Amino acid sequence: MARAVHEHPVPGGPYGLTTGPDGALWFTLVDAGQIGRYTPGTEPTIHQLDPTSGPTIITSGPDEALWFTEYRAHRIGRIGLDGSASTTTPPTPESGPYGLAVGPDDALWFTEIAADRIGRLTTAGDCTEFELPISGAFPSMIVAGPDQAMWFTMNQANAIGRITLDGTVAVHPLPTENAAPVGLALGPDDALWFVEIGAGQIGRIDTGGVITEFALPDRRSRPHAITSGPDGALWFTEWGANRVGRISVDGRIELSDLPTPNSEPHGIAVGPDGAIWTALEIGALARVIP
């Protein structure tokens, strides 16, 4: 069943988005070096950062602030609800921070795409890095699991990783070659769900390491991001097919076309209104009623 989708224009090309502690949508503008804030029915507020910093993934922190990765400036950023921003530089130079999530220890855990490391940053500014056992793994998205550990996609290693709070890493190779996992989310079934941008599939891994894959109707759709919805299902973007998808925990898939052709959907999140929102690089946030 196709869902109703409505677009809300915002300046620039939004990439990542999340719901903030203030009940607004916050989003990154990679190319402009900006962070945006939006509540439906109002004009977006734009906060300027270093124009070349490349803010990418954004998440609500444990401290009533928003945290984000600066992929191009190789930093982790924090922005308060008043727009005041600060940054922390991880120990490894040119590390390419990308994915970011709050851990069960209330620290910010992040992936370093260019350094094959997982980082941990406390709200006090203490930063630790853990080296992965695979070179060229391209760790991408990261999320807290139900097992007091962090889980992450390893895009070029074709695997899902798990790291404990003390830095012990386990690697789970995917059954499909060149699947290139990217987006990752904790599902309502306490499993980790991920998208395979290279294979056109949705994957599921339980905490015991058992992997199940579900082929999408269009294997060339390039699924990119995924989130757990309020309806007991997972929602994802199809960057290459201009669609938003929904998959139930038993693998039933439905797809909804976006109104504007070639809108390039990337980040996806549950909004403060309980709807599904996705960031469109054409310059809009799209709302899907679940």
Q: Under 8 Å CB-to-CB from 90, ≥6 apart: which residues?
A: 74, 75, 76, 97, 110, 112, 119, 121, 127, 129
Residue 249 one-letter amino acid? V
Measured between alpha carbons, how far is residue 208 from residues 123, 132, 181, 237 in Å?
Answer: 31, 20, 19, 27
Structure tokens at 232: 């007991």
What's the Rg (C-alpha) of the chain?
17
Q: Is 196 annotated as a binding residue?
A: no
- Give the residue from 199, 189, 280 showing the smallest Cα distance to 234: 189
Distance of CA 10 to the CA centre of its chain: 20
CB atoms within 10 A of CB 98: 23
Residue 254 known to bind ligand: no
| Tokens representing residue 166 in the block | 């003390």
> What DSSP string describes 265-278?
EEEEEE-TTSSEEE
Q: Does 238 count as an annotated binding residue?
A: no
Question: Which residues are tagged catalytic?
Answer: 266
In whole angstroms, give the CA distance from residue 223 to residue 194.
Answer: 9
Between the alpha carbon of residue 12 and those of residues 130, 209, 237, 243, the distances in Å are 35, 40, 19, 20
Where b means 16+ CB within 10 Å and e means fewer, 211-235 reads bebbebeeeebbbbbbbbbeeebbb
* Residues making up the binding site for Mg(2+): 264, 281
* Residues making up the binding site: 224, 264, 281
* Residues making up the binding site for substrate: 224
